[in-house]
Amino acid sequence: MRWAAAIASGLLLAASFPPLDLGWLAWVALVPVLVAGADLGPGAAFTTGWVTGAVAYGLDTSWFVTTLVRFTALDRPEAVAAHLAAVSVLAVYPGLFLLVVERARGGVWVPVVAWVATEWLRGWFFIGMPWARLGTTQHETLVVAQLAELGGVPLVSALIVATNAVVARWLQGARPVRATGVLALALAATWAWGTARLGALSESVAKESLRVAVVPGKVDQRQKWDPGYGSRILDRYVGLTRQAMAQRPDLVVWPETALPFAFEQSAGRRERIERLVREFRVPLLLGTIASERRRGRRLRRNRVYALAADGTVSGTYDKQVLVPFGEYVPLGQVMPFVHPIVGGHVPIVAGEGQAPLAVGPARIGVLICYESLLPGLARRHAAAGATLLAVLSNDGWYAGTAAPAQLAASAVFRAIETRQPLVRVANDGPSMLVDAAGRVVWRADDSGAPWHVVEVPPRGQAVSPHGEALVIVVCVLATIAALVRPGRLGLDDA
């Protein structure tokens, strides 16, 4: 019975995320495993939660196998084995969640704090994997998603888990009347808050709006780093940008690693781009790889260049958080035989804290691909005076899988948390414009036009820049307290 319940919860959780994207299922997804997990004992509770996590994360990260097969020397059985190894680690956290619930003798509020605490732990411990956080399932339910302004995705996750826990307690035969009343008030308050904030953050375009030309490029990843395609790729971006100039944009944005060469070391091609910018007097934001030498070693950075209207480089941003095993190998010193998917024998190194880029009339906080999963970076950009968040991504690594849609769903929350408009420009994936309320004003998937000019809405003012940290601290401390003094700290049904 408990194995069936564990698998059912895993399937429901997976279906809550893209590609199915049935976010409403998240509100009941944990009910089967919470009902079955009561009074199991620590070992059985952990393994039951682990199975739920293995099913959920195994399905939600199935794109990992496709990426490995396409872009590494691994064959499919080896790629599947690597995926299963990664999933077995990710599944530990739902296992810990159910272990805490069982050890602290259940109730309604223990699952809430335990889920938030373990989900946070998964996001940073060891290699860190903040993928598929429960709250992001509500990226289209904007009245609920507005909670992210107050407490980030963890607060949205907490409300979802509280609903699951109350339903589970009723099904177990308990009568959590007080908890049900508190939940009803929380849901009503959420609805009122979300409705008010959506109304306050107008959809209208500001008088001094910014017109951004989005040029995804749509370059096949298998061609991108083939030297024979370099000139053709540049021709494509230059040609599409010329077409977009007919609509008189204020800024042009190309995606992550748009150029298949080191910008500063390719004089002829660089001069061509600079001439393009000078011709139209429109600033350009573009992604490419930067190469450098440090202590005799060749290193690379995943970099975004900002070109001013006169064609000169006005600023750069280097990706600060690299993708584990994609751009670097955790504990690489003890595993020198393992190489990342990107870069191979030439290491990619992370950048350090950087200010928003001043590009024409805007101050742009840049997030490169994986960084759009990380609210802390977006908040730092907003605090430093950014007027627009720009997510530059190369989704060609995951083309044809659910990964690009999952990344795009997370990006919506960066706009809500900071109350900044956000433009996402992705090669071979969803490009979109999100307003400060999280509304997707414009979206183009792979089948859309090769360029588009969008009117960036005005930004808002976030009311609680430290709310997420507070939610996490409270939940972590409450989880520890529940383990130390189970049933004695007001975390039960009362």
Q: How far is 340 from 439, CA to CA, in rounded Å?
A: 36
Q: How far is 199 from 173, CA to CA, in rounded Å?
A: 41
Cis amide prior to 465 (ω within 30 degrees): no
Q: Render 124-186 in DSSP notation, one character per residue.
A: HSTT---TT-GGGGGSS-HHHHTTHHHHHHHHHHHHHHHHHHHHHHHHTT---HHHHHHHHHH
Catalytic residue among 256, 371, 417, 468: 256
The 8-class DSSP code of residue 23 comes to G
The 8-class DSSP code of residue 339 comes to -
Catalytic residue among 102, 149, 369, 475: 369
From the list 54, 55, 50, 174, the residue with the least C-alpha distance to 105 is 174
Type of residue at 98: L
Residue that has been written with the tokens 């298949």 in this structure: 260
Q: How far is 162 from 157, CA to CA, in rounded Å?
A: 9
Catalytic residue among 102, 119, 224, 319: 319
Q: Respond yes or no: is residue 224 known to be catalytic.
A: no
User: Rounded to 5 degrees, what are φ and ψ at 456?
Assistant: -75, 125
Q: Respond yes or no: is residue 207 known to be catalytic.
A: no
Q: How far is 385 from 273, CA to CA, in rounded Å?
A: 28
**Coil, helix or strand for 429?**
coil
Q: Respond yes or no: is residue 149 known to be catalytic.
A: no
Token pair listed for 101: 């619930």
The residues annotated with a catalytic role in the active site are 256, 319, 369
